[in-house]
Copies of this chain bind each other. A is one copy, B any other.
Amino acid sequence: MQKLQTAIVLVSGGMDSALAAAFAVKTYKPAFLHVNYGQRTEERELKAFHDIADYYNVEKRLVVDISYLRDIGGSSLTDKKIKVTKYNLAINFHRRGLGKPIPSSYVPFRNANILAIAVSWAEVLKAQKIFIGAVEEDSSGYPDCRKKFFLSFGRMIKLGTKPDTDIEIVTPVIDFSKRDIVLKSVELKSPLHLTWSCYKENKNACGVCDSCAIRIRGFRQAGIIDPITYK
């Protein structure tokens, strides 16, 4: 039997990246990468990451702390309390695809930071693919969520790695709506019950934050019952 190629999968713990993982495991041996930037619900998201990794029997897991992004983002703000809140909101807008203007505290170039880490790991593992669950439509206004950004990053990888390296960025859900995400997740048996979207609570999802609202709407439009528990 031919040995499976390895793919790095960026897994935040949300639905989009869980679905990206479902695509990856069809063809590749997955290695899961989770990036923590000091967000409020990080503990819960990390649990979702490991739950999803357990679901797919993923051995290779890497959790990387890049909370320096928060320091960088916060440097433009004076009030410490406002800083944390705005930062988390900003990250949330970005990650959950709210499609609103970028708050001033938003940390730019986040996906480039995350992908650079993934490429470093990919080269060490000799992985040939990096799966990322970015969604272009939902994230309009976020330049580093667009197809042309990922294509350009791919060209840069070729020039910045060894000649025998062949690493491609794969964006399987880039054209999906939240409804598409839900429907495809059911089809591919992505573990929706293990995913986490809420950015306010760590136990039962709040159901009212922007991220929950987007999730709930996606399930409603898909005609599917959300398997997670809300407050």
A149: chain B residues within 8 A (beta carbon):
156, 159-160
Q: Interface digits, A170-214 against B, CB 8 Å rule (1 contact, 0 not)?
A: 000000000000000000000000000000000000000000000
Of residues 99 through 113 on chain A, the ones whose CB sits less than 8 Å from some CB of chain B are 102, 107-113
Partner among B111, B119, B146 whose Cβ is within 8 Å of the Cβ of A109: B119
Asked whether A109 lies within 8 Å of B160 as measured between CB atoms, the reply is yes
Partner among B108, B111, B120, B165 whose Cβ is within 8 Å of the Cβ of A69: B120
A72 in the interface, Cβ–Cβ < 8 Å?
yes
Partner among B64, B65, B75, B159 whose Cβ is within 8 Å of the Cβ of A152: B159
Q: How far is the CA of A102 from the CA of B157 in the complex (A)?
A: 17
Interface residues on chain A, size class? 35 or more
Asked whether B120 lies within 8 Å of A109 as measured between CB atoms, the reply is yes
Partner among B108, B157, B159, B160 whose Cβ is within 8 Å of the Cβ of A124: B108
A125: chain B residues within 8 A (beta carbon):
75
A120: chain B residues within 8 A (beta carbon):
69, 72-73, 107-110, 112-113
Q: A62-B72, A144-B160, A160-B149 are in contact. Are A119 and B108 (CB under 8 A)?
A: yes
Nearest CB of B to A185, in Å: 27
Asked whether A160 lies within 8 Å of B153 as measured between CB atoms, the reply is yes
A143 in the interface, Cβ–Cβ < 8 Å?
yes
Q: Interface digits, A128-155 against B, CB 8 Å rule (1 contact, 0 not)?
A: 0000000000000001101011001101
Of residues 52 through 101 on chain A, the ones whose CB sits less than 8 Å from some CB of chain B are 62, 64-66, 68-69, 71-73, 75-76
A121 in the interface, Cβ–Cβ < 8 Å?
yes
A162: chain B residues within 8 A (beta carbon):
102, 108, 143
Most chain B CB within a 10 A radius of its CB, from A113, A149, A159: A159
Q: How far is the CA of A71 from the CA of B113 in the complex (A)?
A: 17
Asked whether A64 lies within 8 Å of B73 as measured between CB atoms, the reply is no
3 nearest A-B pairs in the assembled complex, by CB-CB distance: A108-B123, A144-B160, A112-B116
